[in-house]
């Protein structure tokens, strides 16, 4: 496992190499990406989880286990894009609420993450026997 100091040194060296010959570095990166699509997807996932939600892949997996591998809303196994559930979070506070399937994540967004609007939609459906 690399220390933060070692990682920073690697980043600096990589940046210098890129600045020295960007075309060569791009070709090397493109070749690595072509050979390692699964590793690249995993790295992208880890980076996005950390950057956007402040969580690790282990945090994601723990949350998924707590939800017993299903969507926190509909309890269905349907996953989002990329074969994983969407990370649902409060857009004002950034607090992660749970993992949702694509349709439930979209649905909450369409209802503006508002329990009032969602309740009104439920009342509307009940009015028509749904």
The residues spanned by each domain of the chain are 56-127
Across residues 16-24, what is the average pLDDT? Answer: 81
- Higher confidence at residue 66 or residue 77? 66
Residues forming beta bridges with residue 98, ordered by sequence position: 88
Task: Tell which residue, 51, 49, 48, has the closest CA to residue 63.
Answer: 49
- Indicate the fold that domain 56-127 takes in CATH: 3.40.1800
Q: What tokens were used for 12?
A: 């600096």
- Higher confidence at residue 12 or residue 102? 102
Q: What is the pLDDT of residue 42?
A: 93
At 96, the pLDDT band (50, 70, 90 cuts) reads very high
Q: What is the pLDDT of residue 4?
A: 81
Give the CA count within 13 Å in the CB-facing half-sphere of 12.
6
Task: Tell which residue, 104, 100, 102, has the closest CA to residue 87.
Answer: 100
Q: What is the pLDDT of residue 1?
A: 57
The model carries a pTM of 0.77
pLDDT at 10 over 70: yes
Q: What is the pLDDT of residue 55?
A: 97
């Amino acid at each position: 496992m690399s220390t933060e100091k070692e990682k920073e040194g690697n980043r600096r060296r990589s940046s210098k190499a890129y600045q020295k010959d960007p075309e060569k570095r791009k070709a090397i990166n493109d070749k690595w990406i072509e050979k390692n699509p699964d590793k690249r997807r995993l790295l992208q996932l880890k980076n996005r989880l950390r950057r956007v939600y402040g969580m690790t892949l282990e945090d994601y997996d723990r949350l998924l286990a707590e939800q017993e591998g299903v969507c926190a809303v509909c309890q269905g196994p349907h996953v989002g894009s990329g074969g994983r559930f969407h990370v649902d979070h409060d857009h004002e506070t950034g607090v992660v609420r749970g993992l949702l399937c694509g349709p439930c994540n979209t649905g909450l967004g369409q209802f503006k993450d508002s329990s009032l609007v969602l309740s009104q939609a439920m009342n509307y459906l009940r009015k028509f026997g749904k």
